[in-house]
Amino acid sequence: MRDSAMAARIDAMLDAEEAAWDGAGPPRAGTLHEFRRHRRPPRPVTVNFSGGITQTCWSVTRTNGSYRVIYLPTAGYFSLCVESDFGPLDIGVHGPAIDCFGSV
- How much is the pLDDT for 84? 93
Cβ of 82: how many Cβ atoms within 10 Å? 15
- Mean of the pLDDT values across residues 75-88? 95
Half-sphere exposure of 88 (CA within 13 A, CB side): 26
Q: What is the mean pLDDT of the chain?
A: 92
Could you tell me which residues are beta bridge partners of residue 45? 57
**5-47 pLDDT, tens digit each:** 999 999 999 999 999 887 666 667 688 999 999 999 999 999 9
Residue pair 29/20 in contact by the 8 Å Cβ criterion: no
Residue pair 98/35 in contact by the 8 Å Cβ criterion: yes
Q: How many domains is the chain built from?
A: 1
- Rounded to whole angstroms, the maximal C-alpha distance in the chain is 42
pLDDT higher than threshold 90 for residue 98 = yes
Phi, psi angles (nearest 5°) of residue 81: -120, 145
Residue with more model confidence, 24 or 55? 55
Structural domain containing residue 72: 3-102
